[in-house]
C-alpha cells in the first residue's frame, strides 16, 4: 500500500466520523499504457471532494461528474471501464492504447475501513477483498509479496508496509533516510549500539532494534522485500551487519563510504569473512546513485533512489549511465560518489 493510499484511508475515516457520504474507486485492471497501477485507489465524497487518484487526473473529472449526478447510489460494488474505444481513450486523455477497469464502492463498509486503518497502524500486512454485487468487504491477514488479484468479480488488494528497511546507524543521514523511506512504504528499523547516537533518535513510526547489527539482521529474518543500509562508517559495526546481510535474501544491501574505502571493504570481507565473491558482489558501495550528494538529505535521496531502481528492476540501466558519466568526467563522478569521505 503506497503512502498516498494511506492518505485516502485517513480521509475516509475522517469523512465517516463527520457523517459524510463517499465512494471508493480502485483500479482493478489495466491494458496498455495506464497512469496508475492496479490497486491504486481514491475516495470521492458526495460533494465532489477527492482524495487520491486512479488516473493521475485523466478520469477524475468524469467520476466527480457521475458522483454529483447521483450515479453512485447503490449499496453494492460495481465495475466501470474506460478506454474501450480509441475515441473514448482520447476523450479522457488516456495514453495510446490505454484501458482501465475500476471497481467502485458507492457505500463502503466504514467499520471495515476503520479496522483496516488500525491494523495498518500496527504494522500488519492485510488483504482487502471486494466482490461485485455484494455489499461490504472482507479483511484477512496478508503476507509479503502479495499482489492485487482481480478475476472479474472479486478484487483482492494488499495493504500495509509491504517493504522493510533496516538502517544501521542513528545519525543524520539515517534520520532523513528513515523519513523518506516511510513515504515509499517501508517499515523502518534502526539499530545502533552506540548510546550517544541511539539516545537522540526521534523519527516517529520507526522501530529501534537493540543489540548488535548482526543480531538485528538475524532477528528480522530478512526476505526479498527487505533492504539493509549501513551508515555508521565504523567497520566494527558495518562489517558485522554485512557478514549476515549479504548471505540473506534481502533485495538491497548497501554501505556508506568512498570508492576507495568501499573497495577496501570488499577486500576485507573476502579475506577475513566466510563470504563468497558472489555474495560480496551484492554489496552496493559507495551506497546510492552517484548524483554528487554531499549533505545528509541529498545522500538519503541518492540511497533511496538506488533502492527504488533495484526494487523496480532497472538498476542495471542506472549503473550503465553512472559508469558513462564517470568516464566522461575523467573520474570526477567517482570522487563525489555517495558517502565519499577522506
The average confidence (pLDDT) of the chain is 85
| In-domain check, residue 151 | yes
Show contacts of 85-89: CB within 8 Å, 24+ apart: none
**Which pTM does this prediction carry?**
0.64
pLDDT value of residue 192? 95
Note whether 191 and 147 are same-domain residues.
no
- Domain membership of residue 115 as a residue range: 3-159
Q: Which three cell numbers stand for residue 49?
A: 471532494
How many separate domains does the chain show?
Answer: 2
| In-domain check, residue 154 | yes
pLDDT value of residue 47? 95
Q: What percentage of residues in the chain have a pLDDT greater than 70?
A: 84
| In-domain check, residue 54 | yes
Q: Which three cell numbers stand for residue 20?
A: 459524510
Note whether 108 and 183 are same-domain residues.
no
| In-domain check, residue 18 | yes
**pLDDT for residue 89 is more than 90:** no
Note whether 139 and 38 are same-domain residues.
yes
| In-domain check, residue 77 | yes
C-alpha 119/C-alpha 160 separation (Å) is 8
- Asked if 80 and 54 count as a contact pair (C-beta separation under 8 A), the reply is no
pLDDT value of residue 83? 76
The pLDDT tens digits for 39-70 are 999 999 999 999 998 886 778 889 999 999 99
Note whether 154 and 171 are same-domain residues.
no
Note whether 153 and 48 are same-domain residues.
yes
Q: What is the CATH number of the domain that holds 213?
A: 3.40.50.720
pLDDT value of residue 276? 93
Note whether 253 and 152 are same-domain residues.
no
Note whether 195 and 138 are same-domain residues.
no
Q: Confidence band (pLDDT; 50, 70, 90) for 227?
A: very high
The pLDDT tens digits for 132-174 are 999 988 999 887 678 899 999 999 998 877 789 999 999 999 9
The pLDDT tens digits for 199-211 are 889 999 899 999 9
Amino acid at each position: 500500500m503506497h503512502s498516498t493510499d494511506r492518505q485516502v484511508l485517513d480521509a475516509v475515516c475522517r469523512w465517516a466520523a463527520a457523517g459524510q457520504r463517499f465512494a471508493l474507486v480502485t483500479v482493478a485492471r489495466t491494458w496498455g499504457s495506464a497512469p496508475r497501477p492496479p490497486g491504486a485507489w481514491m475516495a470521492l465524497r458526495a460533494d465532489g471532494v477527492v482524495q487520491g487518484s486512479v488516473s493521475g487526473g485523466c478520469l477524475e473529472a468524469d467520476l466527480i461528474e457521475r458522483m454529483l449526478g447521483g450515479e453512485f447510489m447503490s449499496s453494492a460494488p460495481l465495475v466501470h471501464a474506460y478506454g474501450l474505444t480509441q475515441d473514448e481513450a482520447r476523450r479522457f486523455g488516456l495514453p495510446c492504447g490505454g484501458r482501465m477497469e475500476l471497481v467502485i464502492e458507492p457505500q463502503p463498509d466504514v467499520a471495515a475501513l476503520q479496522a483496516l486503518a488500525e491494523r495498518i497502524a500496527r504494522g500488519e500486512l492485510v488483504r482487502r477483498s471486494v466482490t461485485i454485487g455484494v455489499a461490504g468487504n472482507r479483511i484477512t491477514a496478508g503476507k509479503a509479496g502479495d499482489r492485487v488479484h482481480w478475476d472479474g468479480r472479486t478484487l483482492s488488494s494488499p495493504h500495509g508496509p509491504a517493504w522493510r528497511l533496516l538502517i544501521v546507524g542513528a545519525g543524520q543521514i539515517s534520520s532523513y533516510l528513515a523519513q523518506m523511506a516511510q513515504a515509499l512504504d517501508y517499515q523502518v528499523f534502526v539499530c545502533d549500539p552506540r548510546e550517544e547516537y541511539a539516545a537522540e533518535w526521534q523519527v516517529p513510526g520507526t522501530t529501534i532494534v537493540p543489540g548488535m547489527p548482526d543480531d538485528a539482521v538475524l532477528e528480522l529474518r530478512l526476505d526479498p522485500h527487505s533492504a539493509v543500509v549501513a551508515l555508521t562508517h565504523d567497520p566494527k559495526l558495518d562489517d558485522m551487519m554485512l557478514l549476515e546481510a549479504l548471505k540473506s535474501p534481502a533485495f538491497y544491501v548497501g554501505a556508506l563510504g568512498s570508492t576507495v574505502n568501499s573497495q577496501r571493504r570488499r577486500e576485507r570481507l573476502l579475506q577475513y569473512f566466510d563470504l563468497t565473491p558472489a555474495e560480496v558482489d551484492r554489496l552496493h558501495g559507495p551506497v546510492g546513485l552517484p548524483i554528487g550528494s554531499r549533505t545528509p538529505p541529498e545522500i538519503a535521496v541518492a540511497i533511496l533512489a538506488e533502492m527504488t531502481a533495484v526494487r523496480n528492476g532497472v538498476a542495471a540501466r542506472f549503473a550503465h549511465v553512472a559508469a558513462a558519466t564517470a568516464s566522461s568526467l575523467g573520474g570526477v563522478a567517482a570522487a563525489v560518489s555517495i558517502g565519499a569521505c577522506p
